[in-house]
Structure 1
Amino acid sequence: MAEPRFLSLLPVRLAVQADRSALGELDRATWSTLHAVQPRPQPPYGPFFDERHRPEEFLVAVAVTDAGEEHIAGYLRLAPATPLACNAHVRQIQGLAVAEWARGHGIARALLRASYAEARRQGAGRLTLRVLGHNTPARELYAAEGFAVEGVLPGEFFLNGRYADDVLMGRSLMS
């Protein structure tokens, strides 16, 4: 299939079970050592959704292409940071991906902003995430969106023959 040409973005929405194949394909297509600590997925591929990764934890950006078709252009996983009741006010971004053909159109920013509203709707007052130290584009986007570095775990991962820092970022949702 030829890559679609981006035309416009529909409102970000929660994922549904029917999105599973497209999200799995997007997840595999966007895998990169820039952000992944898990090995590259290999066939046979497991299900995108499972007991620990439910559709309602995923925000989906759908783009309309020049052919008038709708394609999933990106996703963001928003989940509780921990299962602890004392931490229930925190949501964590546990994945963000944008299709190569859809990059440069503000989709990651739209997903982030939709996550603030969804996290607030769920009663959260704080949002956190983890990003690899060498992922400069993501770190710059998060900083521009109000996230601050709250901690660094130096050399936490050994990827491609090099140590990589795990950068902890967060922001308040109060205001």
Structure 2
Amino acid sequence: MNMDQIYLITDIPGFTPQISRLISMMNYARHTTLEATRGLTVEQLDYLIDSDHNSIGALLLHSAAVEYAYQVMTFGQRELSEEEWLEWGPALRLGDEGRRMIKGNELNYYIDRLEQVRTRTFELFATVDDDWLNTEESFWYNKPANYYFMWYHVFEDEINHRGQIRMIRKRFG
């Protein structure tokens, strides 16, 4: 992530123009997510407002899991395998399962997972061009969606959860 160009939605060497712009937006969203979590302790990452909410740690892992799932769907043209569901399912589903299984990790654990998945996303984006973004598939409610929308949703979902992270963080100071 080039911090000198964090506020530019622009071309990025090695990527086609529209994919560059998508990456620019993803980079900014990730930058703000990381800023919202800077310095958090394990206890803060595990903090629950109440028994129905998700922790900051779970929301961070959810962002990595969503991005991973969209790699599988758009580049692999498949659903997650049983093994992948075992690894990513609690973070994708969140709720009781996420609260039970996603805890006790330091901030670097979540950052490493986010970075591993993002590195793979960039490797995959380097193999396609702007026309690939127009690929359409049946999506939510059996409506057509293109890969551009699906990848927009990846960082739109992260931005939504970043708002939750900021709210949770205010609860414990």
TM norm. shorter chain > 0.5: no
Task: Considering Cα pairs closer than 8 Å and 6+ residues apart, tell me whether 1 or 2 has the greater RCO.
Answer: 2
TM-score, length-normalised on structure 2? 0.23
TM-score, length-normalised on structure 1? 0.23
Higher helix proportion: 2
